[in-house]
Amino acid sequence: MALPEPSDESTALVTGASSGIGEQLARGLADRGHGLTLVARGMERLDRLAAELSKKHKVRVDAISADLADGASRDELAAEVERRGREVEVLVNCAGYGIYSSFLDSGREKEVHQLRLLVEAVVDLTARYLPGMVERGRGAVINLSSTAGIQPLPYNAGYSAAKAYVDFLSEALHTELRGTGVTVTSVMPGPVRTGFQEASGAEYFAERMPGMTIKPAERVAADALRAVERGRRATIPGGAFVKMAFGPNRFAPRGLQLAVGKRLAAPPDGEE
Ligand SMILES: NC(=O)c1ccc[n+]([C@@H]2O[C@H](COP(=O)([O-])OP(=O)(O)OC[C@H]3O[C@@H](n4cnc5c(N)ncnc54)[C@H](OP(=O)(O)O)[C@@H]3O)[C@@H](O)[C@H]2O)c1
């Protein structure tokens, strides 16, 4: 079992837990008896979920507000987790959104902000909590990459590059950590209807995807946790059709990947 057994001191820290995939992963972990540390910026939904899960599953649930794109806020989060005496034995790096526009249009500030949240925060939290897991000989890191990270995507360039980074980091760490009792799993969902489309201006992109590749967050989270329990290095959750639709992109020539990606991700006329 690559997901560690819950204990009184242990917590599963889930970022982006107030919505979508993160919320469903939090639900799945609580269902397995894990105490939780739920993290996002907005407290209202976190507090509601914390109250519901602690009552339903009789587990301890902390809700902590943090802006993970901000280094000082991450320091405060880590200090608060320590102050509460929790040992992070499961880390779920799920908070995220994506920029869907040309790089020139999005501009420096937005691109750097996206990078800080999708890459810097993942590296920071993983580097904070991995040493303790290895020392204790048990732990799991679950990193949300994406099928967008399989190939470069014009008009979604920074996002696809960030998700490729998360996937490469996770798969390489998984291999480095073999034999330590700690696993790192790259979860690569295809399209999932969540708050992501509105937060990212990505509704048009989801509409261009074949309907059968769009899976609910509940299914994606359930498949992801099963893959973690099996000690998998990487997984495309959502079933055989999603795997077949996106997995082979790995082997396509780069020119073809870019041409298809450009057609799929180019903003509708007038929005470029
Ligand atoms: N939905 C998809 O189609 C899809 C596909 C592949 C991969 N993914 C990846 O899956 C992950 C979860 O996405 P989702 O679909 O569940 O999106 P979602 O429903 O929009 O949830 C995003 C979560 O991240 C939190 N968040 C956003 N910015 C944050 C910040 N600066 N600091 C802390 N928390 C922040 C949000 O809460 P607050 O706004 O309150 O902070 C929310 O809890 C993302 O990494 C995404 O890239 C999504």
Report which ligand 1 atom has the smallest distance to the Cα of 202.
3
CB contact at 8 A, 10 and 86: yes
CB contact at 8 A, 8 and 34: no
Confirm whether pTM is higher than 0.85: yes
CA of residue 197 to ligand 1 center, whole Å: 10
**Can you give the pLDDT at residue 270?**
53
- Indicate if the alpha-carbon torsion angle 233, 121, 135, 81 is positive or negative: negative
Give CA–CA dist 19/153, Å, rounded. 25
Residue found under tokens 């077949």: 244
Sheet strand arrangement including 61-65: 61-65, 36-40, 10-15, 87-93, 139-144, 182-187, 234-235
List, for residues 70-100, the tens digit of each pLDDT value: 999 999 999 999 999 999 999 999 999 999 9
CB contact at 8 A, 149 and 166: yes
Report which ligand 1 atom has the smallest distance to the Cα of 93.
45
Q: Span 258-263, mean pLDDT?
A: 96
**Can you give the pLDDT at residue 1?**
62
Residues in contact with ligand 1 by the CB-under-6-Å rule are 15-22, 40-42, 66-69, 94-98, 117, 144, 146, 189, 191-192, 194-196, 199
3-state helix, strand, coil in the chain (%, to 5): 55, 15, 30
Instruction: Write down the domain spans for the chain.
Output: 10-265
Q: Span 224-253, mean pLDDT?
A: 97
Judged against a pLDDT cut of 80, whether residue 198 lies above it is answered with: yes
**Can you give the pLDDT at residue 169?**
98
CATH class, domain 10-265, is alpha beta
Q: To the nearest whole percent, how much of the chain has pLDDT over 90?
A: 98
CB contact at 8 A, 30 and 8: no
Which among 121, 72, 113, 65 is positioned nearest to 93, based on CA atoms?
121
List, for residues 123-161, the tens digit of each pLDDT value: 999 999 999 999 999 999 999 999 999 999 999 999 999
Give CA–CA dist 17/189, Å, rounded. 16
CA of residue 98 to ligand 1 center, whole Å: 9
Report which ligand 1 atom has the smallest distance to the Cα of 147.
6
Which residues form the catalytic set?
159
**Can you give the pLDDT at residue 262?**
96
Which among 195, 167, 66 is positioned nearest to 159, based on CA atoms?
167
Judged against a pLDDT cut of 70, whether residue 103 lies above it is answered with: yes
Report which ligand 1 atom has the smallest distance to the Cα of 67.
32
CA of residue 230 to ligand 1 center, whole Å: 25
What does pLDDT average to over the chain? 97
**Can you give the pLDDT at residue 79?**
98
CA of residue 95 to ligand 1 center, whole Å: 4
Confidence of residue 271 (pLDDT cuts 50, 70, 90): low
- Spell out a b/e string for 99-130, using b for 16 or more CB atoms within 10 Å of the CB, else e: bbbbeeebeeeebebbbbbbbbbbebbbebbb
CB contact at 8 A, 234 and 171: yes
Please report, for residues 27, 53, 134, 267, the alpha-carbon distance to residue 4 in angstroms, rounded to integers and kept in the order given: 16, 19, 12, 43
**Can you give the pLDDT at residue 211?**
93
Q: Span 188-213, mean pLDDT?
A: 96
**Can you give the pLDDT at residue 269?**
75
Judged against a pLDDT cut of 90, whether residue 2 lies above it is answered with: no
3-state secondary structure of 138: coil
Judged against a pLDDT cut of 70, whether residue 56 lies above it is answered with: yes
